[in-house]
Amino acid sequence: MQRVNLQMGRAEITIYGAGAFGLSCGYEAAKRGAKVRVIDPNGVGAGSSGGVVGALAPHTPERWNAKKEFQFQSLIMAREHWPDVEATGGVSSGYGNLGRVQAIKDDRQLQLARERVEQAKTLWKGKATWEVVTQGETGYWAPISPTGYLVYDTLSARLNPWRACQSLAAAITALGGEVVTEGGEEGAVIHASGWWGLKELSIAMGKEVGNGVKGQAILLDLALPEAPQLYGESLHVIPHSDGTTAIGSTSEREFESPDTTDAQAEDLLERACAAVPMLRGARELRRWAGVRPRAKSRAPMLGPWPGRDGHFIANGGFKIGYGMAPLAAKVLVDLILEGKDEIPEDFRVEASL
C-alpha cells in the first residue's frame, strides 16, 4: 500500500461517518495537515456515538493482552486529547477523568479485587490506581455493595457523547476541514459508518463480519458534575458536567426498531434506582436508544478494506468506542499518512473475516 504523501501538497482524506471513530480520524488527520472531508447524511453524532452515557472505563487489570494494553494507552492519551480538541474547536466535550466506583457483591469478587490492586500497580505503570475501599470512604455517592466494599479506579473517565461529537466536528472545521451531509470522495477513504457500515462490509465480503447491538439509556436531571461514575449490577451511572446524570444501558442482539425505547428502559431505571437509591425521584429528561457496531472479533476493526485499494475501515467500537477512539485514530492515520503499521493483530479487518 502506498502512503498518502503530504510532501506533495495537502493529502486528501474522505471519511464516511460523523461518529466517534470517523470524527476522531478526521481530527487526527487534520492536525497533521491533511485536507479532511467528513460526510454523514444524518449529521454529526446521529448514530450510537451521539448517545447519553459516555463511560470511558477500562478492562480489569489482569490477564493482560494487546486489546487491554491498547485501551489503557488510549485512556491515558485521552487526558490530553480531549482538552486539546476542546481548545482547538472551542466546544466542550464534557470530558472528565473522575474515576469510577464499583460494587463488590461477594467474597470471591472481593478477593479478586484485592489481587487486582497489585496487578494494577504493574500493568497501569503508575499512571492510574485500582483500590479497594469501604462503603463509607466514598461518601453518599456510591452503589449499594453487599460486602460493604467497593473498587475505586482513577483510570476511568467520562464524556458527553453527543457533545464530544460536536467538539470534534468544531475542531476539524477550525483546522480547515469539512463536516458535511453530502460530498464527493477525494484521496484516501475511511469508512466509519457504524453498524450499517458493518452490514455493507459483510455484503462485500460475502460473510458476516459484524453486526449491531441495540442499547437503551436514560438521562436524569441530577447534578453531580464532579462525581465519579458508578458501576454495579451490569449498569453504568454517569454524572455529566452539564448537570445531568445518565443511566445505561441494555444490550439487545435482536430488536425490531433501532431507535425506540420500551419496557427494557423501564427495567433499567428500576435496577439503577435499586443499586443507587439517590437516583430515585430525579426528574427524567430523556430516553435514548441506538445501535452500537460490534465486530465479529469483538475488538475495534481498523485497517485497509481487503481488495479495495485506498479504502480503510474504522469501525466496531461497540461499548468502548470513545475509550479506544484517540489511539485508534492515531494508528489508522499513521498507516494512511506515514505507512506506519502498528495496528494490533486482533484489530485488523481480517480478524473478523
For residue 229, what are the β-bridge partners? 100
Yes or no: say if 347 and 69 are a contact pair by the CB < 8 Å rule.
Answer: no
In degrees, to the nearest 5, what angle opens at C-alpha 74 toward C-alphas 72 and 79? 105
Domain extent listing, the chain: 6-96+156-208+296-352
Task: Judge whether residue 2 has pLDDT over 90.
Answer: no
Asked whether the predicted pLDDT for residue 9 surpasses 70, the reply is no
What integer is the mean pLDDT of 281-304? 96
* pLDDT recorded at residue 10: 73
CATH topology for 6-96+156-208+296-352?
A: FAD/NAD(P)-binding domain (3.50.50)
Cβ atoms 295, 302 nearer than 8 A: no
Name the residue among 308, 286, 305, 284 with its Cα closest to residue 348.
305
Residue 191 has pLDDT above 50, yes or no: yes
The Cα–Cα gap between 211 and 253 comes to 9
- Does an H or E element contain 295, and which? strand 283-295
Model confidence at 234, pLDDT cuts 50, 70, 90, reads confident
pLDDT for 4 equals 59
Q: What is the largest CA-CA distance in the chain?
A: 63
Q: Can you give the pLDDT at residue 5?
A: 53
pLDDT of 140: 87
Residue 220 amino acid letter: L
C-beta separation of 48 from 164 below 8 A? no
Task: For residue 299, give the C-alpha cell.
Answer: 475488538
Print burial letters for 50-72: b (CB count within 10 Å at least 16), e (below 16): bbbbbbbbbbbbeeeeebbebbb
Tens digit of pLDDT for each residue in 107-133? Answer: 999 999 999 999 999 999 999 999 999
Query: What's the pLDDT tens digit per position in 143-158?
Result: 999 999 999 999 999 9
Residue pointed to by grid coordinates 419496557:
263
